Amino acid sequence: MKYLKPLILVCALLLAAPMAMAASKAGSSMPTPPAPLQAPLAGEVTPLAGGKTIADIIAESAGLEGQVVKLSAKIMKVSTLILGKNWITLQDGTGTQPGTKLVVTSQEIPFKGDVVVVTGVVRTDIDIGSGYQYAVLLEEATFSAVSE
């Protein structure tokens, strides 16, 4: 028992030494966080031929309720498995604050930063509780590659 504490200390020092050396060689002991994802500028995401933009969907949401729409947008945020769905925030460079983002739900998990074609059903005035309310939401979304 009397050798247990010194043995633990020696093991901790042996494990810490290589990490400390690698950190000093890199010039920093802390990893560099990734750069924040930049929202697309106006015109950066090419609107889908025959599709909608986020500004269109928000402006026409009452008339689009329950309809399937398609749009091209950049994946800004992906939150997985909340209430059994993946919640994805899209932007396409259209609209004015606060109407520049569109939240969609899906069973698919797209990659953050990708520009994709999104297909989903428009829903309006959604209240999922706990203070989460959406004037416009796109449900049952699917994602596909943008054709060049």
Strands (DSSP E) contained in 51-131 are 68-82, 85-91, 101-106, 115-129
Instruction: Report the C-alpha gap between 30 and 77 in whole angstroms.
Output: 25
**Residue range 36-74, pLDDT digits in tens:** 889 999 999 999 999 999 999 999 999 999 999 999 999
**Residue range 87-135, pLDDT digits in tens:** 999 999 999 888 899 999 999 999 999 999 999 999 999 998 899 999 9
Written as one string, the DSSP assignment of 91-104 is E-S-S-TTTTEEEE
Instruction: Report the C-alpha gap between 137 and 99 in whole angstroms.
Output: 12
Q: What domains does the chain contain, in order, with CATH numbers? A: 54-145 (2.40.50.140)
